[in-house]
A and B are shown apart, each in its own frame.
Chain A
Amino acid sequence: MGIISRGFSGRRSAADVKLPPGQYLTTDFPVLSAGPTPHVSLDRWEFTIDDASNGEFPEVLKRWDWKSFRELPSETFTVDIHCVTRWSKLGTSWEGVSLDVLLADVKTDLSYAMFRSYGDYTTNLPLKDVINKQAWIAFKFDGADLAPEHGGPARLLVPHLYFWKSAKWVKGLTLMSHDKPGFWEGLGYHIYGDPWLEQRYSGDE
């Protein structure tokens, strides 16, 4: 640890609430990115579910354009979010389509998914972590359309895991038979990422 800087506390708030280990509470909403903000026009946006288990070319199982996606039943929800860079933001409100709705007609034996984004970001998740009201494709934050720098037009939201799993600018998921690391999971971050067990890095129990 470095020398203490007299009088410095940074951009944090006092927390009476219990946060996952090692986290600090923030009241703003930091923008953290691995690349440029893609600007996807709504007339070109799509979300696809595909299956790449049978060879080289993914078989598209489901596809929505923006219009058909927005016709799906959506819900508003309020969740806490925890970023692996140590900030937590409580009580964030969103509107989105549950993955339960998107996966409703998908019959598969495959247990894992790689979520894909516009740009080159990917993140992997067990399917069991995105069903049963645990994940959404969110298109509104705080009642307003999701801003591009926060992942708009739509982002994945999986609040029970570290926020790097909540892929911005999401464009679909690819079903997989085995878990494979995505963008950060392949470079030292934990394959699963439970903030309450402080699973930040690969090798953390």
Chain B
Amino acid sequence: MWRVGTVVALHDETVTARTITLKVPDWPGHVAGQHVDVRLTAADGYSAVRSYSIASAPNSERRVELTVERLPNGEVSPYLTQEIAVNDRLELRGPIGGWFVWRTQQTEPIQLVAGGSGIVPLMAIIRSRASGSTAPFRLLYSVRKPEAVLYREELQALSDQDHSLGLTYAYTRVAPKDWPRPAGRIDAALIANTTWPSKLVPTCYVCGPTSFVESASRLLTASGNDPDKIRTERFGPTGERQ
């Protein structure tokens, strides 16, 4: 069933990414990691549906935040990142998903691995943890270049104030000046040095473009994690879930 949300705020996260805050009067609540399907309908009845991860932690205000990355040849993302305005309405189906979720009752170590816009559902998980969990968390955030990082200040503040949230950036195309690791994809050495050792039996959440998820999952399995402890969510090759 489709619910209608009203846009109450818009915030540009980067040059190409925008967070849309919606109020959804009949929102039943959600669990961190879930997503929604968004449906846009043109005046002649043509419609397009795309999936977007919920960026906001569970809350009691019927508030749903989506962070959308604009894709160069996208059909829906240019509309959501450039056209949509406060007070516009959006149709949503959801919340959706029961596997790629983290609940505050989970106490085991959590390893988050994000590729590009795959950070969005993981941010919902991190925000959900901030409301009181002390589960040990590590985030490995792989991104092309520094300008593409989402939520940088918030992540920095959270990791500064809470030493049980470890944060590692991996830049794949352009690294900041004087960055200790040259630009490049994540590899076995990075996994070994920055993620929870597999003997701690962490639950891992990997999200991003399909090829990133495949390669990161293989690396996590190769370092001793049981495949059933690795939860994955794949976006399309370009990062947009179609």
Contact = CB atoms under 8 A, between A and B. Distances in A.
Do A and B touch (CB < 8 Å)?
yes
A72 B47 CA distance: 44
B41 A8 contact: yes
18 contacts: A1-B47, A2-B47, A3-B41, A3-B89, A4-B41, A5-B88, A5-B89, A6-B85, A7-B79, A8-B83, A9-B42, A9-B46, A10-B40, A10-B42, A10-B48, A10-B75, A12-B46, A28-B73
Contacts of A10: 40, 42, 46, 48, 75-76
A1 B40 CA distance: 10
A24 interface: yes
A107 interface: no
A2 B79 contact: no
A7 to B, nearest CB: 5
Interface in B45-75: 45-48, 73, 75
Interface in A141-197: none
A121 to B, nearest CB: 20
Task: Give 4 closest A-B pairs by Cβ, nearest first.
Answer: A2-B41, A5-B40, A11-B75, A8-B40
A5 B75 contact: no
Contacts, number: 49
B75 A2 contact: no
Interface string A2-42: 11111111111000000000001000100000000000000
Contacts of B88: 5-6
A138 to B, nearest CB: 25
B43 interface: yes
Interface of B: 2, 4, 39-43, 45-48, 73, 75-76, 79, 83-85, 88-91
A11 B47 CA distance: 10
Q: Assign chain A's interface to a size class.
A: 10 to 19
Contacts of A4: 41-43
Most chain B CB neighbours (cut-off 10 Å) among A5, A7, A11, A86:
A5
Nearest to B88: A6
B83 A3 contact: no
Interface in A83-102: 86
B42 A5 contact: yes
A22 to B, nearest CB: 10
B4 A8 contact: no
Contacts of B84: 7
B83 A7 contact: yes
A12 B75 CA distance: 9
A77 to B, nearest CB: 28
Contact of A3 (B75, B76, B79, B91): B91
Contacts of B40: 2, 5, 8, 10
A1 B39 CA distance: 10
A7 B47 CA distance: 13
Given A10-B75, A11-B75, A28-B73, A5 B46 contact: no
A3 B45 contact: no
Contacts of B46: 9-10, 12, 24, 86
